């Protein structure tokens, strides 16, 4: 046997041993280990080649931070209010009565621009405002929109008008001619329709093993409940527990326990599609991942760009799926995975004493995180919320117990979650 042939068999043997060992660790067949390992390698290599795409994405994301958060001086509230106890004689921060949001650190999600022409046309052509007009509140409007999307077509696998292009107008046009689509397309159109209304939305994929993409749903941010929640526009359902709608993360990590305790509720938003049968979908939420963008149609990326695909995807899973051979990033912290949106942080800036006055002035700033920010609003004690010009304001410290509240108004006219800071001054 020649030396070259011996080297070939040696290398082949080593690769076979590595593939076998890897397949055991990752719980994959040798063939699938090679396929997923190759995908991981390609994603890493192309992510390095197209690294500049990440810088472009960061330039977009900085626009989601408002007020003080747009400057280098932004500091999360943390203990800043507690420090005033020592800085101001007679001042007591009432931590138990306060709820002051801290802005999320840089969230690598890219939201579609509300002014994208195709979204404006989608909203006007199909009368989405009229569809949601009679709803009593934001959450009901979201469910009503989900009912509309879930009633557009039957479940099916007809080809898209243009492969790889998620044009909702073209998809809806084909559905009017009888085309039927699967869960992913229903979820994408739901995300796009919700986005056109000014509601932050994202696409979630679910799987029983973390490798096969078996179901897809939309998630919307609810200002009303101050959380993300799932709308399944294919099976036309959403989930509730303890009076609150559930996110994909919650279905993944807490769903089985809620189901065992009889707390998990499956709510309909529209009649079941003729081609589908009601089934327990909770097993599919064993693994879930978020696509960290929803501007698929308007912002084209190079194949393999780190600003899209596996390198721009977060996943989490139930116990038993600790090891997955993927370039996607595992995120098990719910506060990170389900980052808050449309929130405001109230930051104390400085103290000033006016001439001929015993009461000091407290200067404050507001910082916010939202893709669709319009303006800040503030309220002191029982006063109505009023619009704030800019993000800096001051209050006179009067004796007594007080609560300062702040929120933002979005481009959709919706009020975001309220932050509050309560204190006593003697």
- Do the beta carbons of residue 191 and residue 218 sit within 8 Å? yes
Go through the domains of the chain in sequence order and give each one's CATH number: 67-105+341-425 (2.60.40.10), 117-337 (3.10.620)
DSSP 420: E
Q: How confident is the model over 282-336, as pLDDT tens digits? A: 999 999 999 999 999 999 998 889 888 999 999 999 999 988 999 999 999 999 9
Write phi, then psi, for 168 (nearest 5 degrees): -65, -30
**For residue 72, pLDDT beyond 50:** no
d(CA 187, CA 367): 32
Task: State the distance between the two ends of the chain, measured CA to CA, in whole angstroms.
Answer: 95
CB-side neighbour CA atoms (13 Å) of 74? 23
Helix (H, G, I), strand (E, B) or coil at 192: helix
> What is the model's pLDDT at position 364?
93
Q: Which long-range contacts (CB under 8 A, 24 or more apart) does 331-340 make?
A: 334/249, 334/250, 334/253, 336/104, 337/249, 337/290, 338/227, 338/228, 338/247, 338/249, 339/104, 339/107, 339/109, 340/101, 340/104, 340/226, 340/227, 340/369, 340/417
- Do the beta carbons of residue 207 and residue 285 sit within 8 Å? no
- Do the beta carbons of residue 326 and residue 122 sit within 8 Å? no
> What is the model's pLDDT at position 53?
87
Tell me how far CA of residue 19 lies from CA of 16, 39, 210, 292, 322, in angstroms: 5, 15, 19, 31, 19
Q: What percentage of the chain reaches a pLDDT higher than 70?
A: 91
Q: Which helix (H) or strand (E) holds 131?
A: helix 128-132
CA 264 to chain CA centroid, nearest Å: 22
- Do the beta carbons of residue 70 and residue 62 sit within 8 Å? yes
d(CA 291, CA 353): 51
Q: How confident is the model over 36-65, as pLDDT tens digits? A: 788 888 888 888 888 888 999 999 999 999
Residue with the bigger pLDDT between 78 and 101: it is 101
**For residue 71, pLDDT beyond 60:** no
> What is the model's pLDDT at position 169?
97
pLDDT, mean of residues 354-368: 83
């Amino acid at each position: 046997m020649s030396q070259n042939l011996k080297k070939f068999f040696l290398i082949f043997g080593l690769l076979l041993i590595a593939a076998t060992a890897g397949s055991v660790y990752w719980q994959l067949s040798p063939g699938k280990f090679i396929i997923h390992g190759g995908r991981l390698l390609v994603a890493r290599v192309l992510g390095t080649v197209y690294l500049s795409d990440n810088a472009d994405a960061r330039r977009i994301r900085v626009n989601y931070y408002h007020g003080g958060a747009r400057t280098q001086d932004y500091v999360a509230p943390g203990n800043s209010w507690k420090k005033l106890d020592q800085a101001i004689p007679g001042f007591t921060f009432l931590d138990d009565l306060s709820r002051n949001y801290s802005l999320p650190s840089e969230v690598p999600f890219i939201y579609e621009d509300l002014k994208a022409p195709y979204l404006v046309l989608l909203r006007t052509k199909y009368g989405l405002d009229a569809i949601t007009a009679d709803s009593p509140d934001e959450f009901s409007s979201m469910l009503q929109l989900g009912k509309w999307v879930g009633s557009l077509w039957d479940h099916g696998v007809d080809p898209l008008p243009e492969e790889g292009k998620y044009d909702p107008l073209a998809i809806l046009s084909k559905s009017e001619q009888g085309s039927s689509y699967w869960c992913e397309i229903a979820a994408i159109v739901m995300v796009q329709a919700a986005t056109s209304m000014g509601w932050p939305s994202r696409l979630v994929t679910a799987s029983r093993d973390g490798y096969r993409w078996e179901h897809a749903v939309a998630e919307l941010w609810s200002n009303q409940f101050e959380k993300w929640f799932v709308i399944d526009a294919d099976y036309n359902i959403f989930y509730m527990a303890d009076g609150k709608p559930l996110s994909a993360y919650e279905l993944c990590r807490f769903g089985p326990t809620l189901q065992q305790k009889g707390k998990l509720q499956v709510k309909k938003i529209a009649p079941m599609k003729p081609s589908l049968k009601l089934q327990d979908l909770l097993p599919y939420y064993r693994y879930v991942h978020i696509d960290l963008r929803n501007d698929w149609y308007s912002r084209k990326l190079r194949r393999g760009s780190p600003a899209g695909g596996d390198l721009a995807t977060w996943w989490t899973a139930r116990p038993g799926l600790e090891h997955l051979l993927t370039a996607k990033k595992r995120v098990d912290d719910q506060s990170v995975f389900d980052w808050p949106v449309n929130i405001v942080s109230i930051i104390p800036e400085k103290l000033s004493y006016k001439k001929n006055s015993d009461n000091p002035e407290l200067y404050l700033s507001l910082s916010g995180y939202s893709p669709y920010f319009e303006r800040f609003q503030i309220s002191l004690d029982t006063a109505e919320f009023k619009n704030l010009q800019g993000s800096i304001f001051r209050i006179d410290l009067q004796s007594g117990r007080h609560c300062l509240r702040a929120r933002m108004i979005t481009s959709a006219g919706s009020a975001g979650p309220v932050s509050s800071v309560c204190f006593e001054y003697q």
